[in-house]
């Protein structure tokens, strides 16, 4: 269960506003950060940010703040609130107690003495959001008269209240900003979550999740999606059971070493999907390649993910030959999948479309993105 931290900036605090612009909105040069932190943290931050600028924030080292800071873990949620509005959300990528770095980042505005914010945290996936804090207050079960002050760690009981009903605050706030409907977890999620080997609800017969196929077309498509993901600047993942085969066949070894420390519940439902594109603590796309195996098995993985993460906003693609389009459509209308409205999230991406993208961009072309595939994918239930 991720912690949630809320950092409050009173609109009258000019110094905090300036520092917010300097080290959150404009971000900080990575070399300044890497030269100022301990080697282990430097290595971890480099795997996340590489040469990209880093969003940095901090708090003063009071006893109360230190207790909250000590609870902070990689992947925890961070919300920065200005007045009555959540202006930014992100995830903790690392932390350090570092007076020297604090003094370099946050200098006095007028040459006087400034507060030292030496409890420093680095923020991955920062998004300016503009959502009323009243919405977050309601999600967390706080009373209407709840007042934010400084650095707040959401307490265990409020976290339990939230995570018993919802999947992920980051996804929920992004969905709210884009006008999407917020979904609660099913009341009896264990009853409806589909296992790796599930029963066919129409015949009663068991449908096993097969071993990864060894046919060359499936392997080529999996490798192509991984390679195009790297061209798009994404970090890429394939199931560990597939990585050795792909490396031996295509000399491709540029996989993420671990899936992610900040994805919590979703990890076991995502890490066995054929291809995943991701960035820092965020998943950007998931692809299930279905060449000759049961379409049902790929949709099961997406169904599991949809159940435990109903506010997931990244695209889910079933990738298959064009002649399997009708088979995918049939499977999406099964009662098992209709119940959780999975067809609203899953799109069909033909092999031909992937090959077209690959030919257009070539092995070194720029401009590949998730949007390129989304524009070619089909909604089969409209």
Query: Which secondary-structure segment (H or E) carries 319?
Result: strand 316-320
- Considering the domain architecture, whether residues 104 and 21 belong to the same structural domain is answered as yes
Task: Estimate the share of the chain in helix, then strand, then coil, as percent rounded to the nearest 5.
Answer: 40, 20, 40
> How far apart are alpha carbons 327 and 294 in whole angstroms?
10
Does 90 reside within a domain?
Answer: yes
- Considering the domain architecture, whether residues 116 and 200 belong to the same structural domain is answered as no
Alpha helices in 145-282 (DSSP H): 156-163, 169-177, 189-192, 216-231, 240-250, 267-270
The CA-atom distances, in angstroms, between 168 and each of 2, 156, 244, 280 are 9, 16, 32, 16
Does 291 reside within a domain?
Answer: yes
Task: Return the SS3 of 168.
Answer: coil
Does 183 reside within a domain?
Answer: no
Of the candidate ranges 10-14, 89-93, 132-136, the one whose mean pLDDT is the lowest: 10-14
Provide mean pLDDT across the span 81-106: 94
- Considering the domain architecture, whether residues 136 and 207 belong to the same structural domain is answered as no
Higher pLDDT, 356 or 256: 356
Does 382 reside within a domain?
Answer: no
Which pair of structure tokens corresponds to residue 146?
């709840």
| pLDDT for the residue 47 | 85
Does 381 reside within a domain?
Answer: no
- Considering the domain architecture, whether residues 147 and 230 belong to the same structural domain is answered as no
Domain endpoint, select from 144, 177, 210: 177
| pLDDT for the residue 45 | 93
| pLDDT for the residue 292 | 63
Instruction: Report the domain count for the chain.
Output: 2
Which of 277, 299, 274 minimizes the C-alpha distance to 372? 277
- Considering the domain architecture, whether residues 171 and 219 belong to the same structural domain is answered as no
Look up the CATH number of the domain holding residue 99: 3.10.590.10
Domain endpoint, select from 155, 177, 199: 177
The tens digit of pLDDT for each residue in 17-63 reads 999 999 999 999 999 999 999 999 999 999 889 899 999 999 999 99
- Considering the domain architecture, whether residues 131 and 230 belong to the same structural domain is answered as no
- Considering the domain architecture, whether residues 256 and 342 belong to the same structural domain is answered as yes
Which pair of structure tokens corresponds to residue 369?
């993105």
CA angle 243, 249, 253 (to 5 degrees): 45
Task: Return the SS3 of 331.
Answer: helix
| pLDDT for the residue 286 | 92
Residue 69 sits in which domain range?
A: 4-177
pLDDT band at residue 263 under the 50/70/90 scheme? low
Does 16 reside within a domain?
Answer: yes
Burial of 257 (0-12, 13-18, 19+ CB in 10 A): exposed
- Considering the domain architecture, whether residues 116 and 213 belong to the same structural domain is answered as no
- Considering the domain architecture, whether residues 139 and 260 belong to the same structural domain is answered as no
Domain endpoint, select from 125, 143, 177: 177
Does 53 reside within a domain?
Answer: yes
* Mean pLDDT of all residues belonging to the chain: 85
Which pair of structure tokens corresponds to residue 96?
């350090």
- Considering the domain architecture, whether residues 112 and 205 belong to the same structural domain is answered as no
Provide mean pLDDT across the span 345-360: 93
The tens digit of pLDDT for each residue in 174-186 reads 888 888 888 888 7
- pLDDT higher than 60, residue 353: yes
- pLDDT higher than 90, residue 269: no
Provide mean pLDDT across the span 75-99: 94
Provide mean pLDDT across the span 2-19: 89
- Considering the domain architecture, whether residues 133 and 204 belong to the same structural domain is answered as no
Does 294 reside within a domain?
Answer: yes
| Residues of the chain above pLDDT 90, percent | 51
The CA-atom distances, in angstroms, between 207 and each of 51, 201, 274, 298, 328 are 46, 10, 19, 12, 16
- Considering the domain architecture, whether residues 172 and 29 belong to the same structural domain is answered as yes
């Amino acid at each position: 269960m991720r912690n949630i931290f809320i950092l409050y900036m009173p609109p009258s605090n000019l110094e905090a506003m300036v520092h917010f612009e300097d080290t959150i909105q404009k971000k900080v040069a990575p070399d300044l950060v890497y030269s100022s932190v301990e080697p282990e943290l430097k290595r971890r931050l480099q795997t996340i940010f590489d040469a990209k600028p880093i969003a940095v924030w901090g708090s003063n080292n009071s006893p109360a703040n230190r207790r909250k800071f000590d609870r902070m873990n990689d992947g925890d949620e961070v919300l920065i609130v200005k007045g009555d509005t959540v202006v930014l959300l992100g995830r903790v990528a690392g932390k350090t107690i570092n007076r020297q770095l604090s003094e370099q980042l946050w200098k006095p505005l007028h040459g006087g003495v400034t507060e030292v914010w030496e409890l420093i945290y680095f923020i991955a996936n920062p998004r300016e959001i503009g959502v009323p804090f009243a919405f977050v207050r309601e999600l967390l079960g706080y009373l209407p008269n709840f007042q934010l002050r400084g650095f707040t760690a959401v307490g265990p009981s409020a976290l339990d209240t939230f995570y018993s009903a919802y999947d992920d605050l980051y996804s929920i706030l992004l969905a709210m900003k884009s006008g999407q409907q917020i979904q609660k977890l099913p009341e009896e999620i264990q009853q409806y979550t589909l296992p790796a080997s599930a029963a066919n609800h129409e015949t009663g017969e068991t449908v096993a999740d097969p071993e990864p196929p060894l046919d060359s077309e499936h392997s080529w498509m999996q490798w192509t999606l991984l390679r195009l993901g790297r061209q798009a600047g994404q970090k890429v993942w394939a199931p560990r059971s597939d990585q050795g085969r792909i490396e031996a066949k295509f000399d491709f070894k540029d996989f993420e070493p671990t899936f992610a420390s900040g994805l919590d519940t979703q990890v076991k439902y995502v890490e066995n999907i054929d291809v995943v594109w991701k960035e820092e603590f965020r998943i950007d796309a998931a692809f299930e390649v279905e060449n000759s195996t049961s379409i049902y098995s790929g949709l099961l993985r997406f169904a599991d993910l949809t159940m435990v993460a109903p506010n997931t906003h990244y695209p889910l693609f079933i990738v298959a030959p064009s002649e399997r389009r009708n088979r995918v459509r049939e499977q999406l209308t099964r009662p098992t999948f209709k119940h959780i409205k999975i067809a609203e999230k899953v799109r069909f991406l033909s092999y031909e479309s992937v090959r077209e993208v690959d030919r257009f961009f070539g092995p070194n072309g720029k401009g590949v993105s998730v949007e390129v595939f989304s524009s070619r994918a089909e909604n089969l239930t409209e």
